[in-house]
Amino acid sequence: MKKNKKTTKEKKETKEETGEKKEKKKTRIVATGKRKTAIARAVIREGKGIIKINSRPLSSFSFLKRLAIEEPLRIASEIGISPSFDIEVNVRGGGQESQIEASRLAIARALLAFTRSLELKKAFLQYDRFLLVADVRRKEAYKPCDSKARAARQKSYR
């Protein structure tokens, strides 16, 4: 026996009859940032202004780290963009400072994509270029038989 398959037209009619309404999804934007070996992924969506980094609230970080992470948000608020969004950042790799720089970059990129503001982009670039452009400097590799990347063995003339 063959099963009765509903056509798309019939499916639409049954949805209309039951009165189902699709809920509008909240806009969610994902942006990434890199610094040395740290990689951050920021997810921004409409909300109350809660910021979490690796599931930790921003208030649990030290003052200077919090200042660095909040820089893009302060610039946005100076322009007049209200902080009516939640930001969740996941950071992996690197050290503490690299993770902060990577999350700062990811937050700034996410804010820019979320607001689509040209004025905000100009403000970011005027304040600090590395809010939008990744810093590509990396640690230089050590050379064979040398103690550091640029240090050569000391010569002794005896």
Q: Which residue would you say has higher pLDDT here, 158 or 38? A: 38
Nearest CA to 69 out of 81, 61, 78, 80 is that of: 61
pLDDT in tens, 11-61: 555 555 555 555 556 689 999 999 999 999 999 999 998 999 999 999 999
pLDDT in tens, 107-129: 999 999 999 999 999 999 999 99
Q: Where do runs of H (alpha helix) occur along 53-93? A: 63-79
How would you class 123 by CB atoms within 10 Å of its CB: exposed for 0-12, middle for 13-18, buried for 19 or more? middle
Domains of the chain: 26-128 (3.30.230.10)
Distances (CA, A) of 23 to 9, 20, 26, 29, 43: 21, 9, 9, 18, 20
d(CA 56, CA 69): 13
Structure tokens at 43: 């997810």
pLDDT band at 6 (very low <50, low <70, confident <90, very high): low
Q: How many CB atoms lie within 10 A of CB 71?
A: 16
pTM for this entry: 0.78
Structure tokens at 41: 């992924």
Label the pairing between strands 85-92 and 51-53. parallel
